[in-house]
Amino acid sequence: MSGAKLEVWQIAKRFQGIVAVDSISFTAEAGGVTGLIGPNGSGKTTTMNMITGLYTIDAGRIALDGETLSGCSPHEVAARGVARTFQNIRLLPDQSVLANVMLGTHLGHRKNILAVLARLPGVVREERAAERRCRALLDELNIAHLANVPAGDLSYGDRRRVEIARALATQPLLLLLDEPAAGMNHAEKRQLGDLILQIRSSGVTVLLIEHDIDLVSKVSDHIVCLNFGREIAEGTPAEVRASPAVIEAYLGRDDDA
Partner 1 sequence: MSAGFSQFFASYSNIIDLCLLNSLIAYGLFLALSANMFSLATGGFMALGAYCSVYCTMELGWPFAPAVLAGALLAAAGAALIGAPVLRLRGDYFMLATFAFTEVIRVIALNWDSVTGGAIGIVNIPRYTETWHLALAVVVMVYVVFTLRRSYFGRAIAAIKQDDVVAQSMGVNVFAHRLSLFVASGFVCGAAGALAAHLNFFVGPGDFGLLRSVDALIYPILGGVNSLAGPIVGAIFTTLLPEALRFSNQLREILMGALVVAIVLYLPGGAMSVFKLRRRRPQTPGGAKLAPATKQAQS
Separation CA 244–CA 257 (nearest Å):
17
208's enclosing H/E stretch is strand 205-210
Site string for partner 1, 195-234 (x = CB under 8 A): ----------------------------------------
Query: Binding residue for partner 1 (CB under 8 A) from 2, 56, 119, 132?
Result: 119
Q: What order of strands is seen across the sheet that includes strand 205-210?
A: 82-84, 174-178, 205-210, 33-37, 222-227, 230-235
Shortest distance (Å) from residue 164 CB to partner 1:
13
User: Residue 30 burial (CB < 10 Å; 0-12/13-18/19+)?
Assistant: middle
| C-beta of 167 vs 223, nearer to partner 1 | 167
Site string for partner 1, 21-60 (x = CB under 8 A): -------------------------------x-x------
Stretch that binds partner 1, among 82-90, 189-197, 222-230, 244-252 (CB under 8 A): 82-90
| C-beta of 167 vs 246, nearer to partner 1 | 167
Query: Binding residue for partner 1 (CB under 8 A) from 109, 128, 132, 145?
Result: 109
Q: Residues 216, 223: contact at Cβ < 8 Å? A: yes
Separation CA 1–CA 203 (nearest Å):
6
Indicate the DSSP class of residue 87: S
Query: Binding residue for partner 1 (CB under 8 A) from 34, 42, 105, 220?
Result: 105
Q: At what angle do helices 156-169 and 121-140 cross, to 10 degrees?
A: 140
Report helix, strand or coil for 145. helix
70 binds partner 1 (CB under 8 A): no
Give the DSSP letter string of 8-38. Answer: EEEEEEEETTEEEEEEEEEEE-TTSEEEEE-
| C-beta of 40 vs 148, nearer to partner 1 | 148
Query: Binding residue for partner 1 (CB under 8 A) from 14, 90, 128, 132?
Result: 90
86 binds partner 1 (CB under 8 A): yes
Alpha-carbon 18 to chain mean position: 25
78 binds partner 1 (CB under 8 A): yes
Question: In the complex, which residues of this chain contact partner 1 (CB under 8 A)?
Answer: 15-16, 52, 54, 73-75, 78-79, 83-84, 86, 90-95, 99, 102-107, 109, 111, 113, 116-117, 119, 123, 127, 130, 152-153, 166, 170
